[in-house]
A = this chain, B = another copy of it.
Amino acid sequence: MTRYSYLGPAGTFAQAALNRLMQAEDVGIPYANVTAALNAVRSGEVESALVPIENSVEGVVARTLDELAIGDPLVITAETTLPVTFVLMAKEFVALDSITRVSSHPHAEAQCRHFIAAQLPHAEVILTSSTAQAASEVAQSDSLQDAAIAAAVAAENYGLKILASEIGDNDDAVTRFVVVSKPGKLPDPTGHDRTSLAVFIGADHAGALLEILTELAVRGVNLTFIQSRPTGRELGHYHFVMDAEGHVVDARVGDALSALKRICEDVRFLGSYPRADRLPPTNHQTTSDANFLTSSHWVEELRNGLAT
Task: Give the nearest-CB partner of A225 in chain B.
Answer: B228
Give residues of chain A (182-207) contacting chain B, Cβ–Cβ below 8 Å: 183-186, 204, 206-207
Interface residues on A, range: 35 or more
Q: How many copies does the complex hold?
A: 4
Q: Are B235 and A81 in contact (CB under 8 A)?
A: yes
Q: Tell whether A97 is near chain B: CB-to-CB under 8 Å.
A: no
Shortest distance between the CB of A218 and any CB in chain B (Å): 6
Q: Tell whether A100 is near chain B: CB-to-CB under 8 Å.
A: no
Q: Are B127 and A235 in contact (CB under 8 A)?
A: no
Give residues of chain A (238-286) contacting chain B, Cβ–Cβ below 8 Å: 238, 240, 248-249, 254-255, 257-259, 261-263, 268-270, 277, 279, 282, 286
CA distance A54 to B230 in the complex (A): 10
| Chain A residues with a Cβ under 8 A of chain B | 33, 35, 54-63, 65-66, 73, 75, 81, 105-106, 110, 127-130, 133, 170-174, 176, 183-186, 204, 206-207, 209-211, 213-215, 217-218, 222-230, 232-236, 238, 240, 248-249, 254-255, 257-259, 261-263, 268-270, 277, 279, 282, 286-287, 291-292, 294-296, 298-299, 302-303, 305-308
Top-6 shortest CB links A-B: A59-B62, A127-B129, A172-B233, A261-B295, A73-B308, A258-B295
